[in-house]
């Protein structure tokens, strides 16, 4: 439906098209049904969207008078796409495949993707990714740090975000966040069995351990965590920290789970996060515990999600062994540095435990 026809329907408040689309008003930031009884805006202030979800994605709020989100779509196909959008929006951590979405909609993956793209103009995968980056930005603007925002937005690892952060955000995550003011941080990047390894430290202790395929995203992640700190590369200054971390990655660290007790740490954590980290340190190398089991050990039987979030805010990979926490069904769950690395670290620890 072209914009001229849509505007005619809005001016006439034609009830036949209630639910067929919504119109949004730039001057008020609100979107409405075509039949909304409110005063009509000037045409140049109006934009049209096939779904309420797309109007919200563009930053508009639902009208409290006509309640456009409650309107039943005039076309069954549009209602079906709306249901899919709700499904994709419902759980940030869920990444249903086209086949799964197709089964839910009663369509083949091919027909589902074609219908979704006809209505929304992008594929389900593109829609889900756009929504994740919008959630990420919203959390950062509300004051969350980069790691918290990354987790809350539904990213299972930092690599998905940081490989193309500038293109997705229009600016780097560091621009959104303030932190580390006055800190002096030295870092180094070396080759490891699991790709590039960044190790960073302040005068007080280790403050960052991260893994990746390329140096630049790792450096960007560090600066995103501490955007106001004085950060410099200094291989010699950080060298004492590298060997123990490298040994852990190779499955050769003595006592495995006690590695963090051998290294001074300088990380920011709440009292609850430290409780979680203490629980993780009690998990033997090569073993795993579920998020729920860790929560129960802390006296929080319903705290699995809070435990997962604490794991996601762990800035020192391997040293605090959040890789030893998995889902209840045994699935690996999330990991900031990628699930393949999580599995590889566990495998190395298990081999080392068997040989000792």
Q: Which residues are catalytic?
A: 32, 322
Alpha-carbon separation of residue 281 from 209, 240, 300, 342 (angstroms): 16, 21, 18, 16
Contact partners, residue 27, CB within 8 Å, separation at least 6: 41, 45
Residue 206 backbone dihedrals phi, psi, to 5 degrees = -65, 130
Q: Which helix (H) or strand (E) holds 325?
A: strand 325-326
Alpha-carbon separation of residue 194 from 76, 162, 247 (angstroms): 49, 18, 12
Q: Could you tell me what percentage of the chain is helix, strand and coil, using 3-state DSSP and rounding each to the nearest 5?
A: 50, 15, 35
Contact partners, residue 90, CB within 8 Å, separation at least 6: none
Q: Which residue has the tokens 């030893």?
A: 324
Alpha-carbon separation of residue 80 from 21, 35, 86, 236 (angstroms): 14, 22, 10, 59
Query: How far is it, in rounded angstroms, from Cα 346 to Cα 288?
Result: 8
Contact 179, 140 (CB under 8 A): no
Query: How far is it, in rounded angstroms, from Cα 23 to Cα 176?
Result: 31
Q: What does DSSP assign to residue 316?
A: B
Q: Which residue has the tokens 């006592």?
A: 255
- The angle at the Cα of 14, spanning 32 to 48, to the nearest 5 degrees, equals 40
Query: How far is it, in rounded angstroms, from Cα 208 to Cα 356?
Result: 29
Token pair for residue 32?
């409405």
């Amino acid at each position: 439906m072209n914009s001229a026809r849509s505007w005619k329907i809005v001016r006439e408040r034609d009830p036949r098209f209630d639910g067929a689309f919504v119109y949004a008003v730039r001057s008020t930031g609100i979107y409405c049904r075509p039949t909304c009884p409110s005063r009509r805006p000037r045409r140049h202030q109006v934009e049209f969207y096939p779904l309420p979800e797309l109007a919200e994605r563009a930053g508009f709020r639902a009208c409290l008078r006509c309640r456009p989100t409650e309107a039943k779509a005039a076309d069954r196909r549009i209602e079906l796409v709306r249901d899919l959008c709700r499904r994709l929006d419902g759980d940030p951590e869920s990444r249903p495949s086209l086949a799964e979405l197709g089964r839910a909609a009663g369509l083949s993956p091919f027909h589902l993707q074609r219908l979704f793209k006809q209505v929304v103009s992008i594929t389900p995968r593109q829609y889900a990714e756009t929504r994740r980056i919008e959630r990420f930005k919203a959390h950062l603007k509300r004051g969350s740090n980069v790691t918290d925002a990354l987790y809350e937005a539904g990213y299972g690892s930092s690599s998905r975000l940081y490989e193309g952060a500038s293109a997705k955000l229009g600016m780097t995550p560091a621009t959104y966040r303030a932190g580390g003011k006055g800190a002096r941080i030295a870092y180094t990047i070396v080759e490891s069995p699991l790709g590039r390894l960044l190790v960073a430290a302040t005068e007080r202790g280790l403050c960052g351990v991260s893994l990746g395929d390329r140096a630049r995203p790792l450096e960007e992640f560090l600066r995103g965590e501490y955007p106001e700190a004085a950060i410099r590369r200094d291989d010699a200054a950080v060298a004492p920290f590298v060997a123990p971390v490298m040994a852990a990655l190779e499955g050769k660290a003595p006592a495995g789970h006690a590695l963090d007790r051998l290294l001074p740490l300088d990380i920011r954590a709440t009292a609850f996060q430290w409780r979680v980290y203490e629980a993780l340190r009690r998990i033997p190398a090569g073993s795993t515990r579920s998020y729920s089991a860790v929560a129960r050990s802390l006296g929080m039987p319903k705290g699995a999600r809070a435990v997962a979030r604490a794991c996601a805010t762990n800035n020192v990979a391997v040293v605090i062994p959040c890789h030893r926490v998995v889902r209840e069904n045994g699935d690996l769950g999330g990991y900031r540095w990628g699930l393949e690395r999580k599995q590889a670290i566990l495998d190395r620890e298990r081999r080392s435990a068997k040989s000792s």
